[in-house]
Amino acid sequence: MFDLLGVVVEALDSENVVHMVAGSVASARHGEARATQDIDIVIDPSPDQMDRLLHRLRSGNLYVGDGHAALAHRSAFNVIDTRSGWKVDLIVMRDREFSRVELGRRQPATFGPVETHVASPEDCVLSKLEWASGSGSERQLRDVRSLLAIQGPSMDTAYLERWAAVLGVSDLLAEVRPQPGT
């Protein structure tokens, strides 16, 4: 899985596209490790960078989806390694303050031999709470509980509370936070 991550990160770095690993791989890195079928990477390319990125990726055994449409709609497109079945979802950063702040707070990280960046633990929590708020997913909340338990006091609680209020997930944050004495 990290082989494909390495190929995609190398292409992103070559075109100077700001990016970070997010989603389940990021939250598993900060919290409870679990198996996954794909890797989410948030990207913030210009149209020219997207052109060059697609050209770079469209070689060998990679299937590459419609990056131009993803950029126009601020959505995602797939890169699939047809030899292994692993998939990377390249997600164009949403045009909102939280997404810009989140990408700005990315942290250096290594995944096996791959040096890249990853969403911060706080931003993983906020993204999962936002996802859970829309989907009602108990699994997302379980992941957040594990993440909070493993990170412990190193979490920036003021940041969490501030952005939970902006994103409308303060109630969910209160629900998943460890109670005193637990």
Partner 1 sequence: MEPADTRPDARRVQLEALRALGPDGRSELVESLSEDIRLVTLAGIRERTGEDDEAAQVGELIALWHGPAAAAAVARRFPAP
Interface residues toward partner 1, by CB under 8 A: 1-2, 25, 28-38, 61, 63, 65, 78, 80, 82-87, 109-112, 138, 141-142, 145-146, 149-150, 152
* Residue 111 beta carbon to partner 1: minimum distance, rounded to whole angstroms: 5
- Residue 39 CB, shortest distance to partner 1, in Å, is 9
User: Residue 55's Cα: distance from chain center in Å?
Assistant: 23
For partner 1, the closer of residues 19 and 29 by Cβ is 29
DSSP for 73-139, written as a single string: HT-EEEEEETTT--EEEEEEPPSSHHHHHHHHT-EEEEETTEEEEE--HHHHHHHHHHHHHHH--HH
CB of 87 to partner 1, least distance (A): 5
* Helix H or strand E encompassing 41: strand 38-44
Of the pair 31, 67, the CB lying nearest partner 1 is at 31
Q: Which is nearer to partner 1, 34 or 100 (CB)?
A: 34
Q: How far is the CB of 95 from partner 1 (least distance, A)?
A: 26
DSSP 179: P
Nearest to 12 by CA among 116, 85, 82, 98: 116
Contact 50, 40 (CB under 8 A): no
Residues 170, 180: Cα–Cα separation, whole Å: 18
Q: How far is the CB of 119 from partner 1 (least distance, A)?
A: 12
Closer residue to partner 1, CB minimum distance, 65 or 170: 65
Reduce the DSSP state of residue 46 to 3 states and report it. coil
Q: Of 25 and 164, which has the nearer Cβ to partner 1? A: 25
